[in-house]
Amino acid sequence: MDFLGVVINYILNLGAPVFVPFIMLLAGLVVRMKFRDAASAAITLGVAFVGMSMLIGFMVDAIGVAAQTMMNRTGLELSIVDGGWTTMANISWAWPYAFAMFPLQVGVNIVMLMLNKTNTFNADLWNVWGKIFTAFIVVSVTTPLFGPVWSLVLAFLVAAFQIIMELNAGDIHQHRIEKLTGIPGVTCTHRMVFFGAIYYPFDLLLRKIPVCNKPMDASALRAKVGVFAENHIIGFILGILFGVIAGYSVAKTLMLGVQASTALVLFPMISKLFMQALSPISEAISDYMNKKFSGRKLFVGIDWPFMGGASEIWFAIIVAIPFTLLWALILPGNKILPFAGIINIALIVPAYLVTRGNTLRMVILSIIGVPFFLFVGTQFAPMITDLGLATKAITIPAGQLISNSSIDAPVFTYAFSFLFKFLEGNFIPLVFALWWGCGYFFYSRELRRESNLAQQEAEQQEKAQQA
């Protein structure tokens, strides 16, 4: 078992840019792709992941530091350090039962495919740490209530539920994701899309406001304001604004403007690599499934970066930063200082999917969504710190708390890991669980109707062509 743990640890330490392409290479070979084609697609996917990671790191180094400077100028001290998602992943993998999550995720996926309860093959095995994270929070919360054995059972039941919901989310989002990205047969199985259930009721209200319901994606904005809606111009303007607010010198402000402009120009270029890598693999899997299961189409579920070419996402991410800092200052009970998670992908990607890329509604929803992330990050801090200290996965100074201001799917994770707190008189997690469940039901109904309507139209067009 120790040997297996060492091997798995070694593979995981290679990171998503190696691990995910390796899984996709195996998937391509299983569906009878030529080795050269599968290898080429897998390596291109690795290049895309590295490129996206480099750009995000570039943005954090430039804009994140400016955000930190803004916060320092307020003079307010918040006690919880924001370690970002990488710190959470390291701590999660150090949990003693972490490796049991691999067979659970794969097993659940296979059973659901065989029973025709999903059409999604979740290739995003590297992000199994998200289920591990949920499980260890469940154990931390429920051990005082039920003891170590039953708390562990509950932890894996909640993790299994999360696995099922990720597959379901992959199914229902696939059509909309394909329309937005142009990449066929691919969907997102990352838990961050769960937050769309929280956004959905707010978005329904925003759709009733005329100005919020007009076309406002990147192409529509370019048609209205011309060059001022181009990525390089938007990035430069936002960078200049950040530099001014942070109190930078003229030279440093101009450099930040160019850096932000560079990031927004390069993101769509990197996104094209995802399309280049994923299209041949998804087509091969679809062809294979059509042969094995007549009329059945299989989707490949992966992490969010293949959607990273959308200018709307990066515009909303940057605009959300000052509002994140403002909420951190005024939100009652917040103790987390946003820094490593200041580029909050999990805040914006669900808004992008819910609004179909409407930039104005994305920004409004992100402003509404920030407090959920800060609240959950504050609630989880003691447990995350305790596990980090117990496993020695990271070095934490004595008396210091650590957490993350951008925990993926904060409402879902908090609601279902803290659910049994109602036995102690805390009903907030139960209310959040009901809110999320209702939102997810109606949001998924809209997505399914949209997908079914598109399928019917495609069938009618096909019949008309045959006639």
376 burial level (CB within 10 Å; 0-12, 13-18, 19+): buried
432-460 pLDDT tens trace = 999 999 999 999 999 999 999 988 887 78
- Enumerate residues 6+ apart whose C-beta is below 8 A from 425: none
185-236 pLDDT tens trace = 889 999 999 999 999 999 999 999 998 888 766 565 555 544 444 667 767 8
Cβ–Cβ < 8 Å for 307, 50: no
Give the span between the Cα atoms of 85 and 130, in whole angstroms.
10
Give the span between the Cα atoms of 197 and 199, in whole angstroms.
6
Give the span between the Cα atoms of 357 and 338, in whole angstroms.
25
Q: Which of the listed ranges 42-51, 383-392, 431-440 does the model predict with the highest average pLDDT?
A: 431-440
264-297 pLDDT tens trace = 777 667 767 766 776 777 677 767 766 766 667 8
| Spatial CA neighbour of 364 closest among 196, 203, 241, 198 | 203
pLDDT at residue 246 above 50? yes
Cα 191 to its chain centre, rounded Å, is 6
Q: Residue 96 — φ and ψ, nearest 5°?
A: -55, -25
Domain chopping of the chain, boundaries: 1-453
Cβ–Cβ < 8 Å for 152, 100: no
* Average pLDDT over the chain, rounded to an integer: 83
Predicted pLDDT at 67? 67
